[in-house]
């Protein structure tokens, strides 16, 4: 079993890290303080990402994407994960769910998104349907040659910048269908949601549909088969969350190591005190475990053997490890760890949401335990 990166992967990692350091990190404080990424900065970053070949790196090469395999894509995500979510999201990796596009949908949605001409958002969560997606009440009713949609969504990321939504709505008893809905469609309203302490500048929105009519050819996948489409997307997204947490944890550890090797108390650097050095050892170990778990899950995607519990384990461990590492980082930095002068407190706040979105820790444990128990159950 060879764990070494290829020469191409090493070059890719170096290139993405240089891009993050040069083009994204300098704007972190401004975004954090304003809670916004200006349209001008958004356009500049997008253009530079396209010129560097990082934009839509996850999409097939024959469609104009970068054509990276899942392991290489995970390495890209790890480096992008080091910086502000609001900034790294501009280096857009379109949702894999768009690969379900067929016919005219490819020209209308998929290809323009790969080219950076359009951006999507994913609309699943509702006020009464978070982890329990089958409880969603947004409904699409067949009417003639189309559908009429009514309902609400919330916590929908990037909807204020998106051109269309990948919407999930009920179309029957316990049946979900996925739709492609343009933002300018009559009856479709987007409102800015409440501000979050995590990932400032990356906005969450509320969507409202009142007698919103769309055509039948805007169904993504098959009618009533929305969960099939979602399941193709959720696993890969959980791996993305996991590996970005690894990137953030590595940045925190780097800062802690520099601080522990230079900060002096009681006549010596604090890294020589066991209370600090053991924290550093635990951080390094947890990062290694999280990285190996996640890269293994990405490798399984490339092999076509990824199981739900593989993605769940990676997401669960990496997100919870990041929470522990961020908390230890604040402790190592002491009072300075809570000052806005340093990025430690921001990374600490940002870490908290990772255990909630894209499947809570409780949901991941449910998936893992269900898979472990299944071979032992009888009847």
| Region of residue 247 (phi > 0: left; psi between -120 and 50: alpha; otherwise: beta) | alpha
The two structure tokens encoding residue 311 = 């993605």
Q: Among 2.60.40.10, 1.10.540.10, 3.40.50.1240, 1.10.10.10, name the CATH number for the domain at 7-102.
A: 1.10.540.10
**Per-residue pLDDT tens digits of the chain, which is 379 residues long:** 688 999 999 999 999 999 999 999 999 999 999 999 999 999 999 999 999 999 999 999 999 999 999 999 999 999 999 999 999 999 999 999 999 999 999 999 999 999 999 999 999 999 887 777 778 999 999 999 999 999 999 999 999 999 999 999 999 888 999 999 999 999 999 999 988 889 998 999 999 999 999 999 999 999 999 988 888 766 689 999 999 999 999 999 999 999 999 999 999 999 999 999 999 999 999 999 999 999 999 999 999 999 999 999 999 999 999 999 999 999 999 999 999 999 999 999 999 999 999 899 999 999 999 999 999 987 6
The two structure tokens encoding residue 69 = 């395999």
Q: Measured between alpha carbons, how far is 120 from 165 in angstroms, rounded to an integer?
A: 6
For residues 166 and 157, the answer to whether their CB atoms sit within 8 Å is no
Q: Measured between alpha carbons, how far is 93 from 113 in angstroms, rounded to an integer?
A: 9
269 has which bridge partners?
264
Q: Among 2.40.50.100, 3.40.50.720, 2.40.110.10, 3.40.50.10540, name the CATH number for the domain at 120-220.
A: 2.40.110.10
120-220 and 228-376 agree in CATH topology: no
- Measured over all CA atoms, what is the biggest interatomic distance in the chain, rounded to whole angstroms? 80
Domain spans in the chain, listed from the N-terminal domain onward: 7-102, 120-220, 228-376
Superfamily in which the 228-376 domain is placed by CATH: Butyryl-CoA Dehydrogenase, subunit A, domain 3 (1.20.140.10)
Kindly report whether the global pTM for this prediction surpasses the value 0.85.
yes
């Amino acid at each position: 079993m060879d764990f070494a990166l290829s020469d191409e992967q090493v070059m890719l990692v170096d290139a993405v890290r240089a891009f993050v350091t040069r083009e994204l990190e300098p704007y972190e404080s401004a975004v954090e303080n304003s809670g916004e990424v200006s349209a001008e900065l958004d356009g500049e970053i997008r253009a530079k990402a396209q010129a560097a070949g990082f934009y839509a790196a996850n999409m097939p090469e024959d469609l104009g994407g970068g054509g990276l395999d899942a392991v290489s894509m995970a390495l890209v995500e790890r480096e992008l994960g080091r910086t502000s979510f609001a900034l790294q999201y501009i280096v857009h990796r379109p949702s894999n769910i768009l690969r379900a596009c067929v016919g005219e949908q490819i020209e209308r949605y998929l290809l323009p998104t790969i080219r950076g001409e359009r951006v999507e958002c994913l609309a699943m969560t509702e006020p009464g349907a978070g982890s329990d997606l089958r409880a969603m009440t947004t409904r699409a009713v067949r009417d003639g040659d189309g559908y009429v949609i009514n309902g609400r969504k919330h916590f929908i990321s990037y909807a204020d910048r998106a051109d269309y939504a990948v919407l999930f709505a009920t179309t029957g008893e316990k049946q979900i269908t996925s739709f492609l809905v343009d933002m300018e469609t009559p009856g479709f309203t987007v409102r800015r949601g409440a501000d979050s302490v995590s990932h400032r500048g990356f906005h969450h929105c509320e969507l409202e549909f009142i007698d919103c009519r769309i055509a039948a050819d805007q169904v993504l996948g098959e009618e009533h088969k929305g969960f099939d489409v979602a399941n193709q997307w959720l696993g890969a997204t959980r791996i993305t969350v996991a590996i970005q947490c690894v990137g953030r944890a590595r940045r925190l550890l780097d800062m802690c190591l520099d601080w522990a090797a230079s900060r002096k108390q009681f006549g010596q650097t604090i890294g020589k005190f066991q209370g600090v050095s053991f924290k550093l050892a635990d951080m390094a170990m947890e990062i290694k475990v999280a990285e190996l778990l996640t890269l293994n899950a990405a490798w399984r995607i490339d092999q076509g053997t990824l199981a739900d519990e593989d993605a769940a384990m990676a997401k669960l461990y990496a997100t919870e490890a990041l929470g522990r590492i961020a908390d230890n980082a604040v402790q190592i930095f002491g009072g300075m760890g809570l000052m806005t002068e340093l990025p430690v407190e921001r990374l600490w706040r940002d870490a908290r949401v990772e255990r909630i979105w894209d499947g809570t820790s409780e949901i991941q444990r449910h998936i893992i335990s269900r898979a472990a128990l299944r071979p032992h159950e009888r009847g």
